């Protein structure tokens, strides 16, 4: 066991972890923040996506100890003072979620896509760049709409 320290959603956090503890387990188990989900064990589904130092990564495929001193944002850290992030609001407005399980990862990935591709990101780019996020409910139709709308408002 060793102590790992990082910034999570703007707050300093720390906890005892083993070397093998994954970031997602640190977030869910140690910190009790359960918005970040685990939907697979082969780094494919994207339900666990968080931002580490501003980049969307799969928290199931990174060690907690490797995030020492990192700045981590989860879906819980997006809304500011009761105001939803534009991407969160767009997912609700465009019915971009059904069961909600993939949603946190989708939103975190969507924000990363817009950050790198700009407000006018094309439908093709959105679809291609969501390849690492699987949704079983929506058929992606409204997710793509939501990302476009969220992009415009970001």
Partner 1 sequence: MENFNYHRPATVLAAAAMLKKSKDGKYMGGGHTLLPTMKQGLAAPTDIIDLTAIKNFGGIKVSKSIVTIKAGTTHMEVAASKDIKKAIPALAEMAGKIGGVHVRHKGTIGGSIANADPAADYPSACLGLGATIETNKRKIEADKFFTGMFETALKAGEIITAVHFPIPKKSAHQKFPNPASRYALTGVFLSQDGKGKVRVGVTGAAASAFRATEIEAALTKDFSAKSASSVKIAAKGLMSDMHATAAYRAHLVSVLAGRAAAAAK
Partner 2 sequence: MADTKTGIGASVRRKEDLRFITGKGNYTDDINLKDQTVGYFLRSPHAHAKIKSINTAKARKMDGVVGIFTGEDVAKDKLGGLICGWMIHSKDGSPMKAGPHPVLALDKVRFVGDQVALVVAETKEQARAAAQAIVVSYDVLPHVVDVAKAMKSKANVHDVAPDNRVFNWSLGNEADTNAAFAKAAHVTSMDIVNNRLIPNAMEPRAAIGSYDTGTESYTLYTTSQNPHVARLVISAFHGLAPEHKLRVIAPDVGGGFGSKIFIYGEEVACVWASKFIGGRPIKWTGERSESFLCDAHGRDHVTKAELAMDANGKITGMRVHTKAAMGAYLSTFSAAVPTYLYGTLLSGQYNIPNIYVEVDAIYTNTAPVDAYRGAGRPEATYVVERLVETAARELKMDPAEFRRKNFVTSFPHQTPVIMMYDAGDYGAALDKALDMSDYKNFASRKAESAKNGKLRGVGFSAYIEACGIAPSAAVGSLGAGVGLWESAEVRVNPIGTVEILTGSHSHGQGHETTFAQLVSERLGVDINNVLIVHGDTDKVQMGMGTYGSRSGAVGMTAISKALDKIEAKAKKIAAAVMESSVNDVEFKDGTFTIKGTDKKMGFGEVALASYLGHKFNTSEIELGLKESAFHDPSNFVFPAGVHICEVEVDVDTGLTKIASYTAVDDFGNLINPMIVEGQVQGGVAQGIGQALLEGAVYDEDSGQLLTGSFMDYNMPRAANMPHIENFQLGFTCTPCPSNPLGMKGCGEAGAIAAPPAVINAITHALGVRDIAMPATPLTVWTAMQSMKIAAE
Q: Which of 62, 38, 51, 56 is closest to 9 using CA atoms?
A: 51
- Contact (Cβ atoms closer than 8 angstroms) between residue 99 and residue 137: yes
> Contact between 153 and partner 2 (CB under 8 A)?
no
Subset of 61-90 contacting partner 2 (CB under 8 A): 74-76, 78-79, 84, 88
**Contact region with partner 1 (CB under 8 A), list: 30-38, 44-52, 80-88, 145-153:** 44-52
> Contact between 78 and partner 1 (CB under 8 A)?
no
> Contact between 87 and partner 1 (CB under 8 A)?
no
Strands (DSSP E) along 21-110, which ranges? 49-52, 55-58, 71-73
Binding mask 92-111 for partner 1 (x = CB under 8 A): -----------------x--
Say how many Å lie between the first and final Cα of the chain, rounded: 41
Helix H or strand E encompassing 23: helix 23-25
Residues that bind partner 1 (CB under 8 A): 18-20, 22, 41-44, 46, 49, 55-58, 61-63, 65-66, 68, 109, 112-113, 116, 129, 131-133
């Amino acid at each position: 066991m060793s102590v790992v320290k990082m910034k999570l959603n703007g707050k300093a956090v720390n906890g005892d972890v083993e070397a093998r503890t994954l970031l997602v387990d640190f977030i869910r188990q140690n910190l009790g923040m359960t918005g970040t989900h685990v939907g697979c064990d082969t780094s494919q589904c994207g339900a666990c996506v968080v931002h580490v130092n501003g980049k969307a990564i799969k928290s199931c495929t990174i060690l907690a100890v490797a995030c020492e001193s990192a700045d981590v944002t989860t879906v819980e850290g997006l809304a500011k003072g009761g105001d939803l992030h534009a991407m969160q609001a767009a997912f609700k407005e465009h019915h971009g979620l059904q069961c909600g399980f993939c949603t946190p990862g989708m939103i975190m990935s969507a924000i990363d896509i817009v950050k790198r591709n700009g407000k006018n990101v094309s439908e093709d780019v959105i679809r291609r760049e969501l390849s690492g996020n699987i949704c079983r409910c929506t058929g992606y139709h409204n997710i793509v709409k939501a990302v476009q709308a969220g992009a415009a408002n970001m």
